[in-house]
Amino acid sequence: MSLHIPCPNCGSRPVEEFLYGEISTVPDSITDADARDVDRAFMHNNPEGAQIERWFHVFGCRRWLTMRRDTRTDEVIGTSWRGY
């Protein structure tokens, strides 16, 4: 079965109803301003494991939700409305 997302409003719905939103973060270890810009524009954390991400329920309640997912298994660890 493909990934299902438990929308706090609509319940468990197939991933095709949602838009993915990455939360990109530039590591503090990068201090040079230009290097931070390049990182923000192009680089990804792309973790193998738990990741916090945002999803927009396009074909549903049309709200953004926050979700924690294990990218190795697609197991959904939790969702909430709250920001991050």
Partner 1 sequence: MVIVGGGGHGLATAYYLATRHGITNVAVLERKYIGAGNSGRNTTIIRSNYGIPEAVRFYQRSLELYQSLEAETERWVMHKQKGLLNLAVSEASLRTERARAAVNAAFGARTDFVTPKECKEICPQLDLTGGGVWPVLGGSYHHEGATARHDRVVWAFAEGAMRRGVHVHQKVAVTGLMKEGDKVTGVETTAGPISAKAVVGAVGGHVTTLAALAGVRLPIRTHPLQAFVTNHYELAFNVIAASPPLLFYMSQTARGEMLIGAEIDRQPSYSYRSGYHFLQNCSQRALTLFPFMRNLRVLRQWTGVCDMSPDYSPIMGLTGVEGFYVTTGWGTWGFKAIPAGGEQMAELVATGKVPELIAPFALDRFAKDRTMADRGSAGTH
Q: Does position 47 bind partner 1 by CB under 8 A?
A: yes
Q: What is the smallest separation between the CB atom of 63 and partner 1, expressed in angstroms? A: 18
Q: Does position 40 bind partner 1 by CB under 8 A?
A: no
Among 26, 43, 61, 76, binds Zn ion (CB under 5 A): 61
Beta pairing partners, 65: 55
- Per-residue burial over 40-49, b if 16 or more Cβ lie within 10 Å, else e, is eeeeeeeeee
* Structure tokens, 24: 């990109």
Q: What is the smallest separation between the CB atom of 26 and partner 1, expressed in angstroms? A: 9
Site of tokens 């609509």: 10
Given Zn ion, partner 1, none, residue 67, with its beta carbon under 5 to 8 Å by kind, binds none
